Amino acid sequence: MLLLSLIIFSVCYFSLKSLKASWEKNQLPKQARYLLGILSWGVLISSCGILWEIVQPIIDLFTAPNFEIAIQLMILSTVATVFVKISHAHPESFDFPSMKLFIKDSIRFSNPARRKTILSEELDKHNIRRIYKETTGKELPEYDEKYERALQNKLQQAKKDEYFYKDKRVPASKQVLAELKKPIESIHLKEELKQLQEKTAVDISDSWYLNRQKKSAHQYYHIVRKVIIDPASQRIEFILESSQFTDEKVHEREALYRIKQNLYDFLQAVNQQEWTQPYLKFVSLFSCTCSYVEDGVFGGPQVHSVCRMEVSRAKLKEYENKFFDVGNIEVEILN
């Protein structure tokens, strides 16, 4: 009975899955919904048969226990474990989230919604899935419509409550905003620019500390400890220190990808800042060295470098306000 239910479930489910793709592409007539309904009922009834064949031995084990039932339960549990592992390893082959909604519509012999394919959206989805797989080694989970509906309900509720959370502060005048946006000129600026013109390396950390108070366009601005420009090699070096740059993270692919993304966004922000432009005339290469810092109880802070990333200024300008896959950037692990 269990084998028969499994065969009926497999035939109905995968037939329904193949027809679902054709249905969404408008390759089937409207009358095909009756066939979809019959297959959906086959999936439902066979699922109930499989469930009963699993529950019945458990009931028998408590009412009339014997060795054969125990062996049967072991076999069922092994088969169920294998099935779960296969479904997790190849989610695209089963596609349970979207199939669940499709079967729910088809089982009433109603007209399941046809999804219109928009080429640009499909291309974006393809790129997102590719990047996710390259960085995590796993397939991106399928779209969860139930979660999406819940999220939309929350957004609608938030819009209703928006009136009660409106900001009552008086906006600043244009003159004040313009004054706040002006860069703070370091007292060493002229001297630093002169040294750079003479091909002398310059530490501009003072200028960085002054301007980051008003120009913190990225969260990494406040963990920069030193900024050095070497005009001879046209290189600007940022030394970043934080407890988030652990040895474990730089050796973990997903965590390292997030660090690379944050570093890239940070360098894009630096490259577009108004106050950095006089300095960047002497720069063609951006370099970030990330260091792990830990407060020591007796010996003071413990600091050691964990990784270094370099990006050319030409690359930053080329992809300014555009998508860039940071997976293509090489990072040097320093430990």
Of 85, 102, 117, the domain-final residue: 117
Beta strand 235-242 with 224-230 is antiparallel
| Same domain (yes/no): 132, 232 | no
91: its two tokens = 């989610």
The region of weakest confidence among 59-68, 197-206, 313-322, 324-333 is: 59-68
Q: Please report, for residues 46, 49, 83, 119, the alpha-carbon distance to residue 73 in angstroms, rounded to integers and kept in the order given.
A: 19, 16, 15, 49
More confident residue, 237 or 110: 237
| Same domain (yes/no): 318, 283 | yes
Segment 94-115 mean pLDDT = 66
| Same domain (yes/no): 82, 67 | yes
Examine the pLDDT at 278 and tell me if it is beyond 80. yes
Beta strand 285-294 with 235-242 is parallel
Task: Give the pLDDT score at 12.
Answer: 76
Task: Give the pLDDT score at 195.
Answer: 92
Burial of 238 (0-12, 13-18, 19+ CB in 10 A): buried
Domain count, the chain: 3
More confident residue, 269 or 96: 269
Q: What is the pLDDT of residues 10-22, one digit of tens each?
A: 777 777 777 776 7
| Same domain (yes/no): 208, 309 | yes
Task: Give the pLDDT score at 236.
Answer: 94
Give domain status of residue 179, yes or no.
no
Q: Residue 149 and residue 67: Cα distance in Å, rounded? A: 49
Examine the pLDDT at 327 and tell me if it is beyond 90. no
| Same domain (yes/no): 324, 189 | yes
| Same domain (yes/no): 108, 195 | no
Q: What is the pLDDT of residues 248-258, one digit of tens each?
A: 988 888 889 99
Examine the pLDDT at 286 and tell me if it is beyond 60. yes
Q: Which amino acid type is present at position 77? A: S
Examine the pLDDT at 1 and tell me if it is beyond 70. no
Task: Give the pLDDT score at 115.
Answer: 47
Q: Please report, for residues 4, 93, 101, 280, the alpha-carbon distance to residue 45 in angstroms, rounded to integers and kept in the order given.
A: 12, 21, 17, 70
Please, what's the b/e burial string for 103-118 (b: 16 or more CB within 10 A of its CB; e: otherwise)? Answer: bebbbeeeebeeeeee
Sign of the Cα pseudo-torsion (65, 68, 69, 74, in order): positive
pTM of the predicted structure, to 2 decimals: 0.45
| Same domain (yes/no): 314, 190 | yes
Strand partners, 331: 309
| Same domain (yes/no): 98, 135 | no
| Same domain (yes/no): 225, 258 | yes
Mean pLDDT computed over every residue of the chain: 75
Count the alpha carbons within 13 Å of 207 in the hemisphere toward its beta carbon.
Answer: 24
Ranges of H-type helices in the chain: 2-24, 32-63, 67-89, 91-94, 96-106, 119-136, 145-160, 174-181, 189-197, 205-211, 247-250, 253-272, 277-280, 313-318
Beta strand 285-294 with 302-312 is antiparallel
Q: Please report, for residues 161, 205, 304, 321, the alpha-carbon distance to residue 242 in angstroms, rounded to integers and kept in the order given.
A: 38, 17, 10, 27
DSSP-derived 3-state class of residue 238:
strand
Q: What percent of the chain has pLDDT over 90?
A: 19
| Same domain (yes/no): 66, 148 | no
| Same domain (yes/no): 284, 208 | yes
Q: Residue 13 and residue 208: Cα distance in Å, rounded? A: 62
Q: Are the CB atoms for 110 and 33 separated by under 8 Å?
A: yes
Q: Where residue 95 falls among pLDDT bands split at 50, 70, 90? A: low
More confident residue, 331 or 70: 331
Q: Residue 144 and residue 97: Cα distance in Å, rounded? A: 6
Q: What is the pLDDT of residues 177-206, one digit of tens each?
A: 554 455 566 677 888 899 999 999 999 888
Segment 37-57 mean pLDDT = 76
Q: Residue 260 and residue 255: Cα distance in Å, rounded? A: 9
**Could you list the residue range(s) of the whole structural domain that residue 254 is in?**
184-333
Give domain status of residue 61, yes or no.
yes
Q: Using the structure block, give the residue that is written with the tokens 């469930």.
A: 51
The region of weakest confidence among 6-15, 34-43, 223-232 is: 6-15
Segment 127-143 mean pLDDT = 66
More confident residue, 100 or 120: 100
Q: What is the pLDDT of residues 70-90, one digit of tens each?
A: 776 777 777 777 766 766 666
Q: Where residue 116 falls among pLDDT bands split at 50, 70, 90? A: very low
